Structure 1
Amino acid sequence: MDRREIAAVLAYIGRLDPRTIRTDAGEARDQIAQWHELLSDVPMATGHGWDAREAIRAHVLDSPYPILPVDVARKWRAYRRDRLERHTDPTPSADPDDEAAWRTELLATRHAVAAGVSAPATHRQLTHGGSHPDIAARLSAVGSCVPPAVRAELARFRPMRAAREAAVAAGQVDALGVGCEWCHAAEGQPCRTRRVSPGGRARGNAPRTTPHPTRVDLAAAELARRTAA
């Protein structure tokens, strides 16, 4: 955005949040200069989903704090990352033996997608809308997409998963099915033993072979709740 677009953006913000309005001419110039420094490479809008005004409006609705230029810049960077993650590089039309031309065309395509000028190329994505008609019958026969013989072979390579499956098969509680409130381990991750130095700093964060008792109790309560429901 150039300075005129920045001024228009600040005027739009002032209508939504009067706290950001600068009545002094010097303060207004400094505000425009600050926003332009951080948003000079951010477009006002693109033809593929980005609009700085929509990002500003969302911030005003979601946050009690006045919007800053970095808030818009971060939303733009998140938009760029999302587009590049969904982009599949099409084969360049340049001669593959001409490495410089091949690379130039490839980078130009990526830059266009990141800047919102072009839509992500998704021609390599799976587009089939349904599964094979035999899939449901096969899953009902074996009970899982992984056959029992294959699961038994894999057990020695993933002991934690095998222990969880054995516990569920035996009617016991799967403690790793919930997060741990003691060590803050995420669901599916093992609990960790944390040692703290006298100064309050962490000295160790080794994974435990058994979950914390509070996690087992929490998993049992969750299982009882689901069973009652």
Structure 2
Amino acid sequence: MNAEEAAALLAHCSGFDNRQPSLAAAKSWAAALHDVPFDEDARAAVASYYTTPPQNPNERLWILPHHVRTLRTKIRNARLENFQYEPVPDETVGEYLARLRGQVKAIASGNATAPTGRLALEGGPSKKFQAELEARGWEVGRPVADTDEEAVQAELIDTVRRSGPLGIECPTCHAAIGKPCKTPGGTSKQPLGKTRTKPHSARLRVANGESELTPEQRAAEEHRRREASARYLAQHPEEIPDAEIVDEEAAS
């Protein structure tokens, strides 16, 4: 941009801010914008600057050369958002660079039509990576939900289908699929009504494909747990709450 072109650009600015262009201002703007051509994008940059209101309503907008440079670059970059290079067979590196610069310049200047659609990713995961995903209960290639409601439903389906103890209903506490186990009794680590940090043993066995315990085995397991509870209470008598004596006659 030379001084004459800068003067024309300043005259365009004066239509917005009523400035009084001068020869000194034109030379200064030409020096600051020596590598920026005076084209429609430069004029559009000025219009874009005055289209946006200032942060302070009492502040007066006053465009400067760096505003023209920045906004002109944004206008041109917006046309290149979906740009994809169109190669030719057997081109050399020099031909590639020349063609690339030519295509970028043509689209950025608006002389060529910019692509309208976004590029779609093609291909898929490797067989090894796909096997790892499927081993963890994920379905490869499933459709992606378009709405939040569909996404929640898909998440619930994934939760139900996942492998492990939570993928089945607990035979002991009957916790639903995807829900953690609960304990019927209360301890310092697992109070009544709280979820268990680990699933019940029966749930783990079923998830691992092991057979369920026989009635004799269940009775032995229950007996073992009762003895363990009795030993714990014997070692910690202070945790046993005092019994509350109720006078039945007074209560009646």
Band the TM-score falls in, shorter-chain normalisation: 0.3 to 0.5
More strand by share: 1
Q: Which structure has the larger Rg?
A: 2
TM-score (norm 2): 0.42
TM-score (norm 1): 0.45
Higher relative contact order (CA 8 A, sep 6+): 1
